[in-house]
């Protein structure tokens, strides 16, 4: 009988899990896990962070228990080996061992802060005379909610973490929660949505949203008015502190010191801290090392540029909220060509509606192209074989060089044949010229490629759908 090892047991468990969870979830939450030890019926696995541990325990604990029992029998247990970044400033991480499904969240948080030298001089705050907690204005925008924050691959992790924080502020391992991205991708919307849900679920909690510029100005005023301690005390009474654009703290040493004091106090009291930045914590310059290490204690999640499908969903949601309809080809045109950020998408939609209202015309594709010429870059792009190659290869996520190579891999051959098909259909190039653009192939190869594409379009519905979508993208980007 072959003796079981931690690797063999975990590989068997992974095969069972893979059949029961979506592919993307499997890659995100299970592939990074490493089996460490198998002692009798106790399997120890290593996860990269507290965030991983808590997510597994909250979302997949039943599945893990079942698969573990199937592999090791009754009485099988799981233990976690969690890598935690050291907040003391040293580069080496340390490890926290947590039994699976037995430790409370407070036990985890207590274990995770061992070895971190929290500032012992922070005193309990006193309430400023005349200021009642209920009088603190949250400064939240009530229009920013999770319902109108469209989810996509570009923001799924950040949105999920935001929901977890909103449902249990201060009670998850991602404290602080830092959301970072370039401008216009929804950082501020997301943190407002978190704050609004917390206020809705916990009316007694004090939630405060403050841009860093306002925080800095308040601090300067407190120094000028000799009310520095009142300023600190005011912020130390907050239950959920949301600070926008912390990158503007760079090189402001005094403000960083006061923010460090407030941050430490709130964190020790189990209060939730939410931050936004235009960069990841590791890319922030001119920031005190102590403060920067605290930014890294929880979870840093980025928002990426939305893909085509997400941009379509965002536009359709905006239209639904405004009670308007546009032709699908207009929505697709805008989604294809305005691909930088959400604010530009919203601006383009407003421009379309304004012009349609003023001109008393229905917004069709031609009018949309005319109105959005200042939004859409390369508006008069000339069609070329190179351009077709690029769009087809982008669609299938393969390098352009591959379709010019001699490889006979199925996915490469298919992209090459589709590129040839559209080059013949949409350019005036000869068959010989088209073949030369694909690694010097002759005209008969081009003819064969076009015939193959036509045949597959008649027999393969998915292939035809791909062809139609590629053709739409090529034509929309040419105008």
Is this prediction's pTM over 0.95?
Answer: no
CA–CA dist 127, 234 (Å, integer): 7
Cβ atoms within 10 Å of 159's Cβ, excluding its own: 22
Q: What is the pLDDT of residue 80?
A: 85
Name the burial class of residue 286, with classes exposed (0-12), middle (13-18) and buried (19+) by CB atoms within 10 angstroms of its CB: exposed
- From the options 1.10.10.10, 3.40.50.720, 3.40.640.10, 1.10.1750.10, give the CATH code of 385-478: 1.10.1750.10
Q: What is the pLDDT of residue 328?
A: 79
CA–CA dist 312, 146 (Å, integer): 18
- From the options 1.10.8.60, 3.90.45.10, 3.40.50.880, 2.40.240.10, give the CATH code of 308-374: 1.10.8.60
Q: Which CATH superfamily is domain 133-302 in?
A: P-loop containing nucleotide triphosphate hydrolases (3.40.50.300)
Provide block-wise average pLDDT over 10 residues at a time, the chain (479 residues): 80 87 79 88 84 76 87 87 53 50 39 32 33 62 88 86 91 89 87 94 89 90 83 88 92 90 89 92 87 86 82 80 74 75 77 71 75 59 78 91 90 94 85 88 92 91 90 69
Domain extent listing, the chain? 6-112, 133-302, 308-374, 385-478
CA–CA dist 162, 191 (Å, integer): 8
Tell which residue, 318, 74, 342, 373, has the closest CA to residue 187.
342
Q: What is the pLDDT of residue 377?
A: 54
In sequence order, the β-bridge partners of residue 83 are 95
Q: Which CATH superfamily is domain 6-112 in?
A: DnaA, N-terminal domain (3.30.300.180)
Q: What is the pLDDT of residue 245?
A: 92
Question: Measured between alpha carbons, how far is residue 173 from residues 58, 198, 348, 415 in Å?
Answer: 12, 17, 39, 45
b/e per residue 86-101 (b: at least 16 CB within 10 A): ebeeeeeebebebebe
Q: What is the pLDDT of residue 165?
A: 93
Q: What is the pLDDT of residue 99?
A: 58
């Amino acid at each position: 009988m072959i003796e079981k090892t931690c690797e063999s047991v975990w590989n068997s468990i992974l095969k069972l899990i893979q059949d029961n969870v979506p592919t993307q979830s499997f890659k995100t939450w299970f592939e990074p896990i490493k089996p460490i030890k198998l002692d009798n019926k106790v399997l120890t696995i290593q996860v990269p962070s507290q965030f991983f541990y808590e997510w597994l325990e909250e979302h997949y604990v039943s599945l893990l228990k079942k698969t573990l029992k199937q592999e090791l029998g009754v009485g099988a247990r799981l233990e976690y080996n969690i890598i935690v970044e050291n907040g003391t400033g040293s580069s080496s991480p340390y490890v926290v061992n947590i039994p699976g499904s037995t430790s409370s969240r407070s036990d985890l948080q207590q274990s995770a802060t061992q070895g971190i030298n929290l500032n012992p001089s922070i005193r309990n705050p006193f309430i400023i005379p005349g200021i009642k907690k209920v009088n603190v204005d949250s400064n939240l925008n009530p229009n920013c909610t999770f319902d109108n924050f469209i989810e996509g691959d570009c923001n799924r992790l950040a949105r999920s973490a935001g929901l977890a924080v909103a449902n249990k502020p201060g009670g998850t391992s991602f404290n602080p929660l830092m959301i970072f991205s370039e401008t216009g991708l929804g950082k501020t919307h997301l943190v407002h949505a978190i704050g609004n849900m917390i206020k809705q679920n916990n009316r007694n909690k004090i939630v405060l949203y403050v841009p860093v510029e306002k925080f800095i100005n308040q601090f300067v005023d407190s120094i000028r008015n000799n009310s520095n301690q009142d300023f600190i005390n005011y912020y130390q009474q907050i239950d959920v502190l949301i600070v926008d654009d912390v990158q503007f703290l760079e090189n402001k040493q005094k403000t960083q010191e006061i923010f460090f004091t407030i941050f430490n106090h709130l964190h020790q009291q189990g209060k939730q801290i939410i931050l936004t930045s235009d960069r990841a914590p590791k890319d922030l310059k001119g920031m005190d090392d102590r403060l920067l290490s605290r930014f890294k204690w929880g979870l840093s999640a980025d928002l990426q540029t939305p893909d085509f499908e997400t941009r379509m969903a965002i536009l359709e949601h905006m239209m639904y909220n405004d009670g308007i309809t546009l032709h699908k080809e207009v929505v697709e045109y805008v989604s294809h060509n305005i691909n930088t950020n959400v604010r530009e998408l919203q601006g383009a939609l407003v421009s379309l509606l304004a012009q349609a209202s003023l001109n008393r015309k229905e917004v069709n594709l031609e009018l949309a192209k005319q109105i959005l010429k200042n939004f859409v870059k390369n508006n008069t792009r000339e069609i070329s074989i190179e351009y077709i190659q690029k769009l087809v290869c982008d669609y299938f996520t393969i390098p352009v060089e591959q379709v010019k190579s001699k490889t006979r891999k199925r996915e490469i051959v298919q992209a090459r044949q589709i590129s040839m098909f559209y080059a013949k259909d949409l350019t005036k190039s000869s068959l010989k010229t088209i073949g030369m653009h694909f690694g010097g192939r002759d005209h008969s190869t081009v003819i064969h490629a076009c015939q193959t594409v036509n045949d597959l379009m008649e027999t393969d519905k998915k292939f035809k759908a791909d062809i139609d979508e590629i053709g739409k993208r090529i034509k929309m980007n040419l105008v």
